[in-house]
Structure 1
Amino acid sequence: MIREWAERWTAALRSECGARDAALLRRRTSELGLVYGDRPVCQVLRPLFVPRSTYEDLIRRGELLVSAIHGAMEAALRDDTLMAALGFDRVETEIISADRGFGAADLVGRLDALPAPEGAPVFIEYNGESPGGLGFGDMLGLVFEEMEAWENLDGSSRFHRVAVVPSVIDAFLDGYRLWCRRLHKEPVERPKVAIVDLADVPTRTEFEIFRNAFELRGATTRIVSEDQVAIVDDRVLCGDFEPDIIYRRLVTMDILSRTGGRHALIEAARRQLAFVGCGFEGYGLCAKGHFAVLSDPELRPTGLSDEVLDMLDTSIPWTRLVRDVFTSGPGGGLQEPLEHLVQREKNRLVLKASRGYGGRDVILGWRTSKKDWQAAWETALEGSWIVQERVHLPEARFPVWTSDGIEEVTLHYDLAPYMIAGQCRGLGVRLSGSEILNVAAGRGSAVPALLVAD
């Protein structure tokens, strides 16, 4: 049925409305600021159709996985050796602990998942530190609902889109009120919100989507450069603006690279001077090493439920911390030196920096020479890396508008369920002609996901 809907949408574009829908997408993308830097976030003319049962399974498994990652983080914070193995030094550990206990650190998070033609989906990463793209996805969904192809297929009665921006706004406002109760403070009826990041980030137009959404709920909102944030007389100030809520989009890696880990946002979170949504523990939750902890029988926490264990065994790939150890390979078997296994099986393995983001520091064994793979292994041994079993990316044909009319291109895609205040909700979709699916990596695009009955 999914293939049939995709074919019918493309047929509608070919038969009558392709040029008009392509012009609509270009115009609305420009009007709504749906760009990454100066690049449109979407250049294809069809959404991704997803069976409702697939979505519901992703949601169920995703919530179990994130709960297990939280458990792994708790265990690591009690074990200095494990924290070091995950790559966190003393300064980073202090940052991660800055605001623990005041609500969900991953108030907004995103799982990266690959659906399988048969069997369970596979999750390969978790970004628990204020990921981007949610606002773009919602707005793209509205644009696609304006297309003639949508009308021709009677989309309003056949397809369902899960909007996530309203849920994000609810999460911040509810989280703020809960934070006030825990501190025995009276919440402000119309709180002020600061959306904080670097001044020149390419996702800045997405902040405007959230600013508008907050203001529709009565919250005065400003987009603030991180260097405008200061602590003055126990108050958080952004120039002449004193926020009650901070939507932190500034990632911890940028704080570390620019200041070595000192920032007014960290102080504000530690001293509870404002509600810092997307708290700093989210940085710890992002570590890809958690997948190794949950995959490796030698490291996996005890006390996990049968349901969680089944999910881990079926929905995360074989993953190991890069160390000089003996271990078994994908599928089990006898233990052997990890280095021997990695060199022998390079065509089915990926090396990833445990704390890399934006598609950086990902080395695909099957795309790498033996010499370079060995060098990558030696580099990984000196840092904090994981080695993970390759998961094949699904592909689909998507229509694009060219000078010759509608043509179809084959693109890889993934599904990205969002975590919002501890619950999985909504679905991002990323497309790429390469094997690294990330808009920030310069090779990605996005489309809305539409749920259809099985």
Structure 2
Amino acid sequence: MNESAELHAGSACAVATVDHPELAERLNRGCQCISLDHDRLRAELERDPRDGALFALIGESRPHLFANSVAFVAERHRERIAAIVSAIERVVALPGWQEAVLQWAPPSARTATAASGVFLGYDFHLGPDGPQLIEINTNAGGALLNVALARAQRACCAEVAVLESVVPRSGPGDPETAFVEMFRSEWRAVRGDLPLRSVAIVDREPQSQYLLPEFLLFQRLFERHGIAAYICDPSELAFIEGRLRLGDVEIDLVYNRLTDFALSEPPNAPLAAAWVAQAAVVTPHPRAHALYADKRNLVLLSDGERLASLGVDPATRAILAAGVPPTRLVRTQDADLLWQERRKLFFKPASGFGSRAAYRGDKLTRAVFAEILADNYIAQRIVSPGERRLSVEGVAIDLKMDLRAYVYRGHLQLMAARLYRGQTTNFRTPGGGFAAVVAVP
């Protein structure tokens, strides 16, 4: 977009302020500024000389990874999200909760560890009643990419100008330093004062993964902090004489990006053995998924009576009642009722991730519904995502918007938006992708 077009798009921030009562909503509807500085983004992504083609790789094969504009969120909604996260932390800490959710967890989740699990991802829709928790993920990707994205914003308007001040490049509050310290904290919780020497970033066929650019960024980040880092497929690992190895290298810590949360698939056997033996620090791990991210947990989190029976205090129950949409287990005996109410429901596999095999009830066929009944699903009341209007190739389009809060030990580290069209987040929408979040009054 040329300079005059940018100024014209920026003027929409002011033009649209009379239609809606809340500043964030007005900006999301009216600000069509292009705030992403692509040259600055390239510099952020290619800080290491070895990554000279990383920006080009994203542009060629992942053109919709980053949105050109920010997303605006009311500060009170951000505070509410933090309150919901804190409430869930209090619940998860209760022995009654752990006993309840481990009943349906795989055996690998029963291995105890002092490691908490890095990068919990709390995903929210902004409904009429404020933020609504859609799901929790234990392998939430995108945090380091979103740091680079936030640093690459330019001040197209006063609201965006704050980004440079809240995402520092060094010193206190630097997210990259905080991320490394998080991994060191996981290590110290299990190994004490022993030095952390090596990290393996593990995923199936990592070179073909959509978020490979982030794996590379994490590898460079660890190396800048004096930690040897490797990207590998789990089949390349070996568990030998009580040690997890990658070739001749003993692996101290595994940054686990696998979506086999139970580590039950055959290629993951060496990693599973090391996890059960606690021969390497694995983070996130099967126990974290069981405690936080199994979709059946949403059934308990939205059931006030059950929470009370587990010892959850009234104030915490009130926060969850307002922030977690009603969710139920899908059971064959409830088939008729579920079919009648399907247009109000979103169906998700209990142990799934992302949008795989998830369905809006109003899109269901009888055949798919029969498959859902035969499998292990939950049904959650639909909360429509927020909206962000952007100019794409000169045409104003409305994109759906959800929010992801990256969390470690109850602390909200970073918030990002995802802009998309279609049923679920897909990173295939022109103009969509990750968007930096700006909190406004």
Distance 1:429 1:286, change over 3 A: same
Please name the residue that 2:135 is paired with.
125
**Conservation of the 8 A alpha-carbon contact between 2:243 and 2:250:** yes
**Conservation of the 8 A alpha-carbon contact between 1:108 and 1:421:** no
Please name the residue that 1:334 is paired with.
none
Q: How do 1:423-434 and structure 2 match up within 5 A?
A: 423-434=411-422
**SS state of the match for residue 403, structure 2?**
strand
**SS state of the match for residue 218, structure 2?**
helix
Please name the residue that 1:319 is paired with.
327
How much does 1:62 deviate? 1.6
Distance 1:74 1:255, change over 3 A: closer
Unaligned runs of 5+ in 2: 1-22, 46-52, 168-172
Q: How do 1:26-425 and structure 2 match up within 5 A?
A: 31-32=54-55, 35=58, 38-42=61-65, 44-69=67-92, 71=94, 74-76=98-100, 79=103, 83=104, 88=105, 93-98=106-111, 100-104=112-116, 106-117=117-128, 119-128=129-138, 130-144=139-153, 147=154, 149=156, 155-156=161-162, 160-161=166-167, 164-181=175-192, 186-188=193-195, 191-199=197-205, 200-252=208-260, 255-259=263-267, 263-284=269-290, 285-296=292-303, 299-300=306-307, 301-324=309-332, 338-368=334-364, 372=365, 374-400=366-392, 402=393, 406-425=394-413
More displaced stretch, 39-48 vs 68-77:
68-77
**Conservation of the 8 A alpha-carbon contact between 1:234 and 1:273:** yes
Look up the equivalent residue of 2:382 and give its one-letter code: R
Distance 1:2 1:390, change over 3 A: closer
Distance 1:115 1:7, change over 3 A: closer
How much does 1:386 deviate? 0.7
**SS state of the match for residue 351, structure 1?**
strand
Please name the residue that 1:2 is paired with.
24
How much does 1:424 deviate? 2.4
**Conservation of the 8 A alpha-carbon contact between 1:322 and 1:386:** yes
How much does 1:61 deviate? 1.1
d(CA) in 2 for partners of 1:7 and 1:381? 39
**SS state of the match for residue 397, structure 2?**
strand
How much does 1:445 deviate? 1.4
Alpha carbon RMSD of aligned pairs, Å? 3.3
**SS state of the match for residue 201, structure 2?**
strand
Deviations 1:325-358 (A, max 9, x none): 5xxxxxxxxxxxx333212222111221111112
d(CA) in 2 for partners of 1:221 and 1:411? 37
Look up the equivalent residue of 2:143 and give its one-letter code: L
d(CA) in 2 for partners of 1:414 and 1:171? 25
Q: Is it true that 1:446 corresponds to 2:438 in the alignment?
A: no
Deviations 1:189-242 (A, max 9, x none): x52222111223221110111112222222122222212211122222111222
More displaced stretch, 231-240 vs 248-257:
248-257
**Conservation of the 8 A alpha-carbon contact between 2:102 and 2:109:** no
d(CA) in 2 for partners of 1:440 and 1:75? 40
How many positions carry a matched residue from both structures?
Answer: 402
**Conservation of the 8 A alpha-carbon contact between 2:121 and 2:140:** yes
More displaced stretch, 383-392 vs 1-10:
1-10
Deviations 1:361-380 (A, max 9, x none): 11111223xxx2x4334323
**Conservation of the 8 A alpha-carbon contact between 2:77 and 2:130:** no
More displaced stretch, 207-216 vs 1-10:
1-10
More displaced stretch, 167-176 vs 297-306:
297-306
d(CA) in 2 for partners of 1:229 and 1:451? 43
Q: How do 1:9-28 and structure 2 match up within 5 A?
A: 10=32, 13=34, 21=37
Identity %: 21
**Conservation of the 8 A alpha-carbon contact between 1:159 and 1:450:** no
**SS state of the match for residue 79, structure 2?**
helix
d(CA) in 1 for partners of 2:349 and 2:261? 13
How much does 1:121 deviate? 1.2
Distance 1:3 1:290, change over 3 A: closer
**SS state of the match for residue 250, structure 2?**
coil
Distance 1:135 1:432, change over 3 A: same
d(CA) in 1 for partners of 2:294 and 2:337? 23
d(CA) in 1 for partners of 2:371 and 2:345? 16
Distance 1:397 1:296, change over 3 A: same
d(CA) in 1 for partners of 2:101 and 2:385? 34
Please name the residue that 2:424 is paired with.
436
Deviations 1:242-278 (A, max 9, x none): 222221112325943445xx51112112212122221
**Conservation of the 8 A alpha-carbon contact between 2:188 and 2:194:** yes
Deviations 1:360-401 (A, max 9, x none): 111111223xxx2x433432332211111111121120233x
Unaligned runs of 5+ in 1: 326-337
Q: TM-score, normalised by structure 2?
A: 0.80
